[in-house]
Chain A
Amino acid sequence: MAKVAKGKAASVAMSPHIHSPQSLQRIMWDVVIALLPATLASIYYFGYNSIRIIAISVGTALVSEALMCLMTKRKMTILDGSAVITGLLFAFNLPPNSPWFLVAIGSFFAIAIVKWAFGGLGYNIMNPALGGRIFVLAAWSSFMINNWSPTIRKFITAGDSMQTASAKILDAVSSASPLNSLKMLYKAGESAANAADAVSAATVSATNMLTTASNWVTNGVTNAVHAVSSASQTVAAVTPAGHYGYSYMDMFLGNIPGCIGETSALALLIGFVYLMIRKVIMPTIPVIYIGVVALLSWMWGGLPFGTGWFTGDPLYHILGGGLFLGAIFMATDYVTSPISFKGTIIYAFMLGLLTVIIRLWGGYPEGVSYSIVVMNLLVPILDRYLKPKIYGKPRKKAKEA
């Protein structure tokens, strides 16, 4: 019988007596199923590296979850699917040659610290997978930036086995991922501008101060020449042949360097459609987040190049980097997103804004993980002040509890 066994609700009449088919377990496992296309895509593009990283990540996540359940004397929850989701999402955020200890420690951090230290399921203050990612980004940044491999596809088509191809891509490490290339171009643009300033400053000094300035001139010009040459080298390395070296189709399918789970927009979209059919998520957050990034990157994307407003490349921006993965699977995480509709709109809009600002003007090439974590921390404020209007009450700000 549907009965309330204990607690305050047990002392009053019970209703309703029927329940929607959606349960906690069903929702969690639906998300795992939705992540399967991306899992297959990661193996298709990065080979055994993906299998290794996913296995370590999910395995550590399950062990950490079990450990925390025992330590907190709570019912074992490793079968509810939430640890598997965190394990998968954390794995998807890592480059293919991540060392095993980085994967294991990061996964443990995500489960034990980000989720359990704050109270377990329902209480994490930020997305656990992203919490794990920014932890390893800070702790082992050399493994996490400028560490991109090409995909195994061209080696497979050349005849290599998956094993050989997977090993080969680890040797071909470079700094060229779609967004990283873009960031370097921005910086090259800055350096070139700085170099031009340095040259003209040196010329002025030379004109005004003849003897003591002669050293200045020599140094200034040498530095300027170095700056210009490294900038042009960067530009040459990226070889703009269309869109900084990657075709839109490659970016859509996932045949580009990047973290193992984030490259294939197509696989992530299939998961998105599945989640919407199963009524696990509403399209609000992904559509607004991706839409705002597209809009703002079109509006402002050309500014670091000095080409003016409305000259950015929105498709490049939304298909490159981890935007689809973040917008569909991590920004929509229930625990760390707002519960009211108004809050959701502002949350999704701010995510887009922050992502674009970090990408164009911040220190990192990719802004998705930091934007989501920052907005996660702001969600309690959004929930406190943006409550729906209550039937029968006048439309004024409901005071917070």
Chain B
Amino acid sequence: MKLQLKAFKRGGVHSKEFKLTADKPIEKAHMPKIVRIPMTMHLGAPAVVKVKAGDNVEEGQLIGEASGFVSANIHASVSGKVLNVLKADTLNAKGVDYVEIETGGSIRNWYDKKNKYTNFSIEQLLEKIKAAGIVGMGGATFPTHVKLTPGKNKIDTLVVNGAECEPYLTIDHRLMLEKTEDILEGVRILKKITGAEKVVIGIEENKLNAIETLTEAVKDDPKIEVAALRTRYPQGGEKQLIEAVTGREVPSGGLPLDIGVVVMNVSTTLAVYEAVAFDKPLIERGLTYTGLEVPGRGNYKVRIGAPISSLVEEFGIPEKHGSIICGGPMMGLEVTDLNLPVTKGTSGIVVLQPKQDYEVNHYPCIRCGHCVMVCPIGLQATVIADLVDNNRVEDAVANGLLDCIECGSCSFACPSTIPLVGLMRFGKVVWRKKQQAQAKK
């Protein structure tokens, strides 16, 4: 089929795609023996622990309650007994409450009773989403019910993010192929909540069968269309996706809803459907366990809180391996401790080869301008990073530091292997601290 490709206007990098698991249907991973569920797997305030050691819990039981407006509920992903409530670190935060549950008891079937959700009001739909603890599953983990809460702006377009631009990850691709109707039901629910007039499902053209499947599935609905996107990282970044699909730019410092757009990831859309139709909380998610030379690589449905070590045990790992990344290799974080759990935002576990790891040498900047050429936001990373390195954070902000989406294209392209993204992150931390200090005065 002849495709007209949409794309974001400038920058981006095209690394090797490594979509090794694109043809592997989603399978269920084994139930883990224990799950370790942190009380913060989302942006916003951590949930408050509602259980204590020794309690028996049922699969789907609320074990952490959302505290404050921007927060999310957390549920037991298995039935069993609470072993421990303790403080430990996650990849993103230190000293977080963890609920450790030893798996035992029954596995619940969520799909035997279906709600008549087409009659639900918007408030009821939002209640279901909030109760289920749904957060953005593309990686940002922003609480979905907060994102969908009606504000003063009118939403005219709902964009469904099926881009999956990170190398190696294929879970959204498989979901679009295997759960097409469920996802489209989720789309219709979201369309009703947001009041959007139009829905666009953006899919990169390296997933041709997904584009065909979805185009066929929506052919009778004039309000839903499928947009084929040029395959280039970071096409799946919210700002780039909106620019490609609608031609509009999210204002600096603003949100997509300022320009009447809401973006929702494919996995999140499916979770929304399951929450509304079956009252199923977010207790498991699909992810891609992959890597060159990984024996059991594929797409798997995994319980939230399953330690990454349980996946390594089940699917294998080559003896000599490089970094293990939680998420995609461009924006994910390195897994330093295999006891760390799969969280609501874990879209993949990528095992890199030793030769794929590169040394961060921080050679002098040779002014090649590659970072400027690849930045999708139009920033001059070397200028900003240099200002941060020389403690000139205000000047860095004046050059656009806060607009950086940390996609990593600049560091990927820098021949001198300067840690550009790291310096930008550091600059933002310093800036926030300064702002907080100012606010206290």
Chain A contacts to B: CB under 8 angstroms: 1-5, 7-20, 22-24, 26-27, 119-123, 334-341, 383, 387-393, 398-399, 401
Does B417 make an interface contact (CB < 8 A)? yes
CA distance A19 to B360 in the complex (A): 10
Interface residues in B331-355 (C-beta closer than 8 Å to A)? 331-334, 352
Does B415 make an interface contact (CB < 8 A)? yes
Q: Are A398 and B334 in contact (CB under 8 A)?
A: no
Does B319 make an interface contact (CB < 8 A)? no
Q: Are A16 and B329 in contact (CB under 8 A)?
A: yes
CA distance A119 to B254 in the complex (A): 41
Query: Given the interface contacts A390-B400, A391-B252, does A20 sit within 8 Å of B323 by beta carbon?
Result: no
Does B367 make an interface contact (CB < 8 A)? yes
Contacts of B378 in A (CB 8 A): 388-391
Interface residues in B5-64 (C-beta closer than 8 Å to A)? 10, 13, 15
Q: Which residue of B lies closest to A22 (CB)?
A: B415
Query: Given the interface contacts A15-B332, A121-B366, does A20 sit within 8 Å of B413 by beta carbon?
Result: yes
Does B398 make an interface contact (CB < 8 A)? yes
Q: What is the number of contacts between chain A and chain B, taking CB atoms within 8 Å?
A: 181
How far does the Cβ of B406 sit from chain A's closest Cβ, in whole Å? 7
Contacts of B426 in A (CB 8 A): 8-9, 11-12
Known: A387-B380, A391-B403. 6 other contacts (CB 8 A): A3-B360, A12-B426, A16-B412, A17-B330, A17-B352, A383-B383
Query: Given the interface contacts A122-B365, A335-B366, does A1 sit within 8 Å of B323 by beta carbon?
Result: yes
Q: Are A24 and B416 in contact (CB under 8 A)?
A: yes
CA distance A387 to B253 in the complex (A): 19
Contacts of A22 in B (CB 8 A): 370, 413, 415
Contacts of B417 in A (CB 8 A): 19, 23-24
How far does the Cβ of A8 sit from chain B's closest Cβ, in whole Å? 4
Q: List 29 A-B contacts (CB under 8 A).
A: A4-B419, A5-B360, A11-B426, A12-B422, A12-B429, A14-B422, A15-B421, A16-B329, A16-B412, A17-B325, A17-B329, A18-B352, A18-B412, A27-B368, A337-B369, A339-B372, A387-B380, A390-B378, A390-B379, A391-B243, A391-B378, A392-B250, A392-B251, A392-B253, A392-B254, A393-B252, A398-B400, A401-B387, A401-B392
Contacts of B323 in A (CB 8 A): 1-2, 17
Does B310 make an interface contact (CB < 8 A)? no
Q: Which of the listed residues A12, A27, A399 has the most CB atoms from chain B within 10 Å of its own CB?
A: A12
Contacts of B357 in A (CB 8 A): 1-2, 17
How far does the Cβ of A20 sit from chain B's closest Cβ, in whole Å? 5
Give the interface residue-count category, chain B.
35 or more
Contacts of A7 in B (CB 8 A): 362, 389, 419
Q: Which of the listed residues B167, B253, B411, B423 has the most CB atoms from chain A within 10 Å of its own CB?
A: B411
Does B363 make an interface contact (CB < 8 A)? yes
Q: Which residue of A lies closest to B323 (CB)?
A: A1
Q: Which residue of B lies closest to A82 (CB)?
A: B366
CA distance A72 to B406 in the complex (A): 35
Interface string of B288-326 (1 = CB under 8 A from A): 000000000000000000000000000000000011010
Does B161 make an interface contact (CB < 8 A)? no
Q: Are A24 and B392 in contact (CB under 8 A)?
A: no
Contacts of B10 in A (CB 8 A): 388
Q: Are B330 and A399 in contact (CB under 8 A)?
A: no
Ranked nearest first, the 10 interchain pairs of A and B with the lowest CB-CB distance are: A9-B422, A16-B408, A122-B364, A339-B369, A9-B419, A392-B252, A19-B358, A388-B378, A401-B395, A12-B425
Within 8 Å by CB of B167, from A10, A18, A383, A401, lies: A18
Q: Which residue of B lies closest to A379 (CB)?
A: B367
Q: Which residue of B lies closest to A334 (CB)?
A: B368
Q: Are A18 and B422 in contact (CB under 8 A)?
A: no
Contacts of B377 in A (CB 8 A): 390-392
Interface string of B82-116 (1 = CB under 8 A from A): 00000000011000000000000000000000000
Contacts of B215 in A (CB 8 A): none
How far does the Cβ of B256 sit from chain A's closest Cβ, in whole Å? 11
Q: Which residue of A lies closest to B332 (CB)?
A: A15
Does B399 make an interface contact (CB < 8 A)? yes
Q: Are A24 and B363 in contact (CB under 8 A)?
A: yes
Within 8 Å by CB of A120, from B254, B358, B364, B400, lies: B364
Q: Are A13 and B425 in contact (CB under 8 A)?
A: yes
Q: Which of the listed residues A16, A334, A339 has the most CB atoms from chain B within 10 Å of its own CB?
A: A16
Does B196 make an interface contact (CB < 8 A)? no
